[in-house]
Structure 1
Amino acid sequence: MIRSSWADVEIPESTVHEHVLAGAAARGDHPALIDGRNGQTMTYAEFAHGVDRLAAGLAAAGLRPGEVLALFSPNTLLYPVVFHAALKAGATVTTVNALSTGKDLSAQLRDSNARFLVTISAFLDRVEQASGQVEQIFLCDSFEGYQTVVGLMGNDHPTPSVAIDPKTTVAVLPYSSGTTGVAKGVMLTHRNLVANLAQFQPVIAYTPQDRVIAVLPFFHIYGLTAVMNAALAAGATIVVLPRFDLNEFLGALAQQRVTRVLVAPPIVLALAKHPAVAEHDLSSLQWVMSGAAPLDGDLAAACAERLGCAVQQGYGMTELSPVSHAQPFGTASAKPGSIGGLLPNTEARVVDVATGADLGPGQPGELLVRGPQVMLGYLGKSAETASTIDAEGWLHTGDLALVDAEGDFFIVDRVKELIKYKGYQVPPAELEAVLLAHPGIADAAVVAGHDATGEEIPHAFVALAPASTLSAEDIMSYVAERVAPYKKVRAVSFVDTIPKSASGKILRKDLRATL
């Protein structure tokens, strides 16, 4: 068993909204949230007041403690207000992927038993496909015939005071991405989230002087915890963008003098390679953190050299609230490709996939994690919960990792994503890193394909850089020169873009479906 090298931190016995809003009103006119497109600003005093008034409005509208409110929206200034107001009213928030179809939305509303839905007018076409699943709908903007969040806030009702047990009350119910199976509701308690915020703060070291870009979606646990709640709890300023558009993103970084960037590997790739980056003054940047998928060490180094700031990596999953590992802010020489060490109050094991035996330094195996950030379980799925969290409290991540003698971890790949070629295990992430190093390749993904005999083979999907004339043979030869013979790419398909989830994970199942 491996323990964190950090001293344990005290975990406050508080709810998420109490923890995040503890110093908000006292910060007064300090900006809490800024719209990265138009500069509209919400101060901390306005944020705290808005949460109070909306909590009262939701309670008056009939939202009761223990019920579920669904939040189906891109990032907006009101998103954190709605989230914390619902918690203050005693409800659970189920965050809905902004890219969900009407069918997806309907399934999540039904599975979570949501009574209220908060959304935006642009999503009403999909909301209508899920009609009948919820009792009341409120809009963060406005549309004829619908009640608005701002209207709910204009009340003089008393702020609800609800007794909440942080250890047992589910605060947020995000749904796992479904990239390797059917999406499941992940029950994260108030204690899970507060614990992870307390564990993460010494590592990320946010200050009130920081400006943090929020291009990661708040509906994803990475954006919700590591950006939205962690930054607000520390008194930092969040620069909000509703989606990733490279020019809009670069403009917001420059105009708002952003200091911290938390993203997924596709954005690190853009920052490292795209010519538009050179057109913007990004000198305010101090730190780029990548998560949600493995980041190649060479790509991180190329991005760091171009931006002149640290580019580091962390690790987590929805079931871990989400962070368990991270390279700490201010580290002068982080190891290339490492996700860093364990957060405070966290333990880990690396075990043999077949036998479950503990492995030593440098030996790859499945990563197991134990700590206060481990989820309560999957909603209504006791068998799946039991197969993920064992009797000793170890969460089986499904990720292949290794740890070195100094306690730094490296993710090799997903256990389920490994390609078996003639008995050898081939990690797709390793081949993707090789492909992305080629200047003629803009993006790439590798999945398990099959040859004429039915044998599993590494099959690469490649999006070429502009003006690139690479052929499939060129690409296979390039990879073959850089990897062991059994790891060679043996088929190539060209695509315009690599499909990814909103959090930046490659949607391998979508690629496999085209074979």
Structure 2
Amino acid sequence: MVHSTLPDVEIPDVSVYDFLFGDLDEARLDTVAIIDGTTGAETTYRTLIAHIDLFAGALAARGIGVGDVVAVLCPNVPAFATVFHGILRAGATATTINSLYTPEEIGKQLTDAGARWLVTVSPLLPGASAAAAALGIPDEQVIVLDGAEGHPSLAQLLGEGNPAPDVSFDPATHLAVLPYSSGTTGLPKGVMLTHRNLVANVTQSRAVIGLAEGDRVLAVLPFFHIYGMTVLLNFALRQHAVLVTMPRFDLADFLRVVSVHRTTWVFIAPPIAVALAKHPLVDEYDLSSIKVVFSGAAPLDAALADHVAARLGCAVRQGYGMTETSPVTHVIPLERDDLDRSSIGVLLPSTEARVVDPETGVDHVPGADGEPSEPGELWIRGPQVMAGYLNKPEATADMLDADGWLHTGDIATVTGEGVFRIVDRLKELIKYKGYQVAPAVLEAVLLGHDAIADAAVIGVLDDDAQEVPKAFVVPQPGATLSEDDVIAHVAAHVAPHEKVRVVEFVEQIPKSSSGKILRKDLRARERAAQG
């Protein structure tokens, strides 16, 4: 077992709202909290808190409180912070939905989470309305922030002037959020994260991630994803930094926003690092304000990190985590220039880890000669670890053991100095541009095609060493089927990031005697084909 080399931290026993906004003095209240990167409009902390309270009051006036779940389908706009924290302030639970989801996928999450209220924006209303209608959710329970006929708007709700309710709950057990994750494999599941989980992870991050008051933070990572939710909506606001929002990633707009608003910290996923390292457009903008580029959500290659650091003249760091750990468990501290950028760094305070042989269950330990341990599955224990999966006790037991150890499904090594490196993946989940893609979801879609007899999906590396979904397809006898046909079929049923990018036709899918797809055999075949 490895304990964090950093001192333990004390986790406040308070709600997320009280933790983030409870100690702001008059001077800080009038500083800028959020800048709309598109329009330049500014929101102070005073205004943000007032709007959060009013939104909570509007929800409470509609009978929404402890025990209720409110869904949020929205891009990164300043109002997201009002809605997200307003839901938590009202004592309800927020389930955040991927903005790229199809109506079918939206409906599945609403149903599984038990959400009867949905907050969205007019560009996403067609999908939201289709999902809500299919579930019998009336228009008055679909809030459209920027306004739409027949739906409540944010201006209307704030204008009602209802005071924030007095709510009482135990932060250690009350669910703050229900983001969805596929875990180590399988279909998306609601991850039960309590107020204490989120407060703990921000407290832990404050001790090691050097973001400071007054820093300007580019908020391009989606708020619906646990990375953006914790690091931007929670951690950055707790540090009294300034969030500069972007509703989606576009390289030219990204560079413009950094240049115009002089952002100092840029939290990204590796695909953005590829653009920063290679794209000629980068040289046309003044990016000298950037002090730190911090990557997460998928592994960052060390050479790529070096290119970004050299080109931008800034520090480049990465961290590691999962939705199930709120998410951060490891980071490379800002002051640790001695650490290899391809490592995931050291454990956050108050966090423990094990590197366990998947076959024997024996812990691997670092060598006496300074060599890292043998590779093993990374297990995590700490106050940021989830309460479990919603209504899925078996899946919870598979992921989280009786002693509180979360089995990550990633293969890691650890040195005697407590530096961890991810070297492989035991789990079958694909990480496409930082988004989770569950092979089981794509396989179910593929098998829905009349001309496909069998199928399997794995992650493979593209030319930029980024993981993309590849489908192995067995056509029905006599069927005429092309790669484009397969790609188009999947694209019609899933969000854009879940699309199959490569197709290979095969005679059969390797399976175990119990019928389980042997994806490790397909991965071995792929490695052999690449030489």
Asked whether the two chains share a fold, i.e. TM above 0.5, the reply is yes
Q: Which residue of 1 aligns with 2:22?
A: 22
Q: Does 1:307 align with 2:312?
A: yes
Q: 1:126 to 1:450 in 2, by over 3 A?
A: closer
Q: Which residue of 1 aligns with 2:97?
A: 96
The whole-number CA distance in structure 2 between the counterparts of 1:117 and 1:84 is 15
CA contact (8 A) 2:223 2:229 kept: yes
Q: 1:196 to 1:145 in 2, by over 3 A?
A: same
TM-score calculated relative to the size of structure 1: 0.83
Q: Which residue of 2 aligns with 1:107?
A: 108
Q: Which residue of 2 aligns with 1:510?
A: 500
Q: CA deviation at 1:158?
A: 2.8
CA contact (8 A) 1:201 1:230 kept: yes
Q: Which amino acid aligns with 1:365?
A: G
Q: 1:162 to 1:156 in 2, by over 3 A?
A: same
Structure 1 unaligned blocks of 5 or more: 420-427, 436-440, 453-460, 462-494
Pick one of 384, 399, 406 that aligns with 2:417: 406
What is the correspondence of 1:170-319 to structure 2 with a 5 Å cutoff?
Answer: 170-176=175-181, 180-319=185-324
Aligned residues between the structures:
451
CA contact (8 A) 1:222 1:292 kept: yes
Tell me, what secondary structure is at the counterpart of 1:204? coil
Q: 1:241 to 1:449 in 2, by over 3 A?
A: closer
CA contact (8 A) 1:210 1:259 kept: yes
Q: Which residue of 2 aligns with 1:349?
A: 354
Q: 1:24 to 1:69 in 2, by over 3 A?
A: farther
Per-residue CA deviation, residues 298-357 of structure 1 (Å, 9 max, x unaligned), is 111111111101111100000000000001123333313111000000000001111111
The whole-number CA distance in structure 2 between the counterparts of 1:449 and 1:104 is 20
CA contact (8 A) 2:76 2:248 kept: yes
Per-residue CA deviation, residues 434-467 of structure 1 (Å, 9 max, x unaligned), is x7xxxxx456547788899xxxxxxxx9xxxxxx
Tell me, what secondary structure is at the counterpart of 1:18? helix
The whole-number CA distance in structure 1 between the counterparts of 2:180 and 2:37 is 27
Q: 1:116 to 1:278 in 2, by over 3 A?
A: same
The whole-number CA distance in structure 2 between the counterparts of 1:304 and 1:256 is 20
Q: CA deviation at 1:371?
A: 0.2
Pick one of 146, 154, 157 that aligns with 1:152: 157
Tell me, what secondary structure is at the counterpart of 1:225? helix
Structure 2 unaligned blocks of 5 or more: 367-371, 431-457, 475-482, 506-531
Q: What value does the CA root-mean-square deviation take over the aligned residues?
A: 2.6
The whole-number CA distance in structure 1 between the counterparts of 2:468 and 2:105 is 27
The whole-number CA distance in structure 1 between the counterparts of 2:20 and 2:264 is 21
Tell me, what secondary structure is at the counterpart of 1:224? helix
CA contact (8 A) 1:292 1:503 kept: no
The whole-number CA distance in structure 1 between the counterparts of 2:386 and 2:261 is 35
Q: Which amino acid aligns with 1:401?
A: A
Per-residue CA deviation, residues 375-427 of structure 1 (Å, 9 max, x unaligned), is 000000000000100111100001111112211111112213599xxxxxxxx
Q: Which residue of 2 aligns with 1:7?
A: 7
Q: 1:402 to 1:449 in 2, by over 3 A?
A: farther
CA contact (8 A) 1:292 1:315 kept: yes
Q: Which residue of 2 aligns with 1:41?
A: 42
Q: Which residue of 2 aligns with 1:80?
A: 81
What is the correspondence of 1:451-466 to structure 2 with a 5 Å cutoff?
Answer: none
Q: Which residue of 2 aligns with 1:467?
A: none
Per-residue CA deviation, residues 112-161 of structure 1 (Å, 9 max, x unaligned), is 11121110011111112212433511111111221101210112333201
The whole-number CA distance in structure 2 between the counterparts of 1:24 and 1:107 is 39
Per-residue CA deviation, residues 21-50 of structure 1 (Å, 9 max, x unaligned), is 123463222110001111111111100111
365-374 or 206-215, larger mean C-alpha shift: 206-215
CA contact (8 A) 1:264 1:503 kept: no
CA contact (8 A) 2:219 2:228 kept: yes
CA contact (8 A) 1:314 1:327 kept: yes
Q: 1:184 to 1:23 in 2, by over 3 A?
A: same
346-355 or 56-65, larger mean C-alpha shift: 56-65
Q: Which amino acid aligns with 1:9?
A: V
Per-residue CA deviation, residues 67-112 of structure 1 (Å, 9 max, x unaligned), is 0000110111010111111111110000011011100010111111
The whole-number CA distance in structure 1 between the counterparts of 2:91 and 2:232 is 23
Q: 1:345 to 1:444 in 2, by over 3 A?
A: closer
CA contact (8 A) 1:63 1:116 kept: no
Q: Which residue of 1 aligns with 2:382?
A: 371
Q: Which amino acid aligns with 2:81?
A: P
Q: 1:129 to 1:298 in 2, by over 3 A?
A: same
TM-score calculated relative to the size of structure 2: 0.80
CA contact (8 A) 2:471 2:500 kept: no
Per-residue CA deviation, residues 270-307 of structure 1 (Å, 9 max, x unaligned), is 10111111111111111111111011111111111111
Tell me, what secondary structure is at the counterpart of 1:94? strand
Q: Which residue of 1 aligns with 2:124?
A: 123
Q: 1:179 to 1:319 in 2, by over 3 A?
A: closer
Q: CA deviation at 1:162?
A: 0.2
Q: Which amino acid aligns with 1:222?
A: Y
Q: 1:323 to 1:444 in 2, by over 3 A?
A: closer
Q: Which amino acid aligns with 2:6?
A: W
CA contact (8 A) 1:366 1:397 kept: yes
